[in-house]
Amino acid sequence: MSGDYLVASFASEGAFAIACERLSAEGLGELYPFTPKPIMADRPISSISLFAFVTGMVGVVGGFAMEADANIIAYPLDIGGRPKLSWPSFVPIAFEIGMLLAVIGVIVSFFLFAGVGRLYSPIDDCDLLRRALSDRWVIALRPRSPESSRRARDLCESLGAAEIEEFRHEMESPRSGGAVASQL
């Protein structure tokens, strides 16, 4: 999908937040906000913690099972008369494997859920976005109509946008954009 986009950058978080709210309330189109730092009012998404818990538990249970299988079935050795299933000795390795898999699980799930890993997006061609991870609060709006675009521009100007750019290109996938817009 291609079309016209209006990209506005703001120097302050306050103006950006108001602009997001107003543009969203007026239903001028889909919003794609980009910020130089996390917005503290946004609650972190918990699905990653579930993923981390599952991968961590797989590590703990799998690690313990591996140790038990190796020392009971595959290669049983009498070490100082200890029982074959000396389970307290198996706990540290199971714990370490669990922690390691949980860390890997967090990072993999972040890449999957946050849409990270896609090195190029058409939005990268927008000059204003270059400052989104430095010192500007950027809103990319996909207006519903030329009238919406004009109204959005006026609104952004009135709210003190530092720069406004009309951007004609294919934007990020509607899935992630929709998710962003719905959370505003």
Partner 1 sequence: MTEQICGVVLHNRVAFWWIVALAIALLLVLALILAVSWLFIAGIGIWGVDWPVVWGFAIINYVWWIAIASGGTFISALFYLAGVEWRNSLNRIAETMTIFAVACAGIFPILHLGRPWLFYWLFPYPNTMTLWPQFRSPLLWDFFAILAYVVSSVLFWYFGLIPDFGTMRDRAHKSGVRVLYGILAAGFRGSRVQWRHYRAAYGILAAIMAPLVVSVHSIVGLDFAGAATVGWHSTQFPPFFVFGALLSGFAMVLLLIVPLRRLLGFQDFITGRHFDVLTKLLLVSSLCVDYSYMMEAFMTYYGDDEAERLSFEDKIAGALAPIYWMTIVLNVLLPQIFWLRRARVSEALIMLVSFGVIIGMWCERYQIVVMSLRRPRIPSAWGDFAPTIWDWLTLFGTVGLFAAGLLIALRLVPMISMFEMRDMMTEGKGKDER
SS (H, E, C) 157-174: HHCCCCEEEEEECCCCCH
For partner 1 (CB under 8 A), the number of binding residues is 70
Within 78-137, the residues that bind partner 1 by CB under 8 A are 79, 82, 86, 89-90, 92-93, 95-97, 99-100, 102-104, 106-107, 109-111, 113-121, 123-124, 129-135
Per CB under 8 A, the list member of 22, 163, 165, 176 interacting with partner 1 is: 176
Q: How far is the CB of 23 from partner 1 (least distance, A)?
A: 13
DSSP class per residue in 103-150: HHHHHHHHHHHTTTT----GGGG-GGGGGTTTT-EEEEEEESSHHHHH
> Distance (Å, rounded) from C-alpha 175 to C-alpha 30?
11
Within 46-85, the residues that bind partner 1 by CB under 8 A are 46, 48-49, 52, 56, 66-67, 70-71, 74-75, 77, 79, 82
Per CB under 8 A, the list member of 9, 24, 35, 148 interacting with partner 1 is: 35
Residue 145: name the closest of 34, 16, 30 by CA. Answer: 30
Q: How far is the CB of 146 from partner 1 (least distance, A)?
A: 26
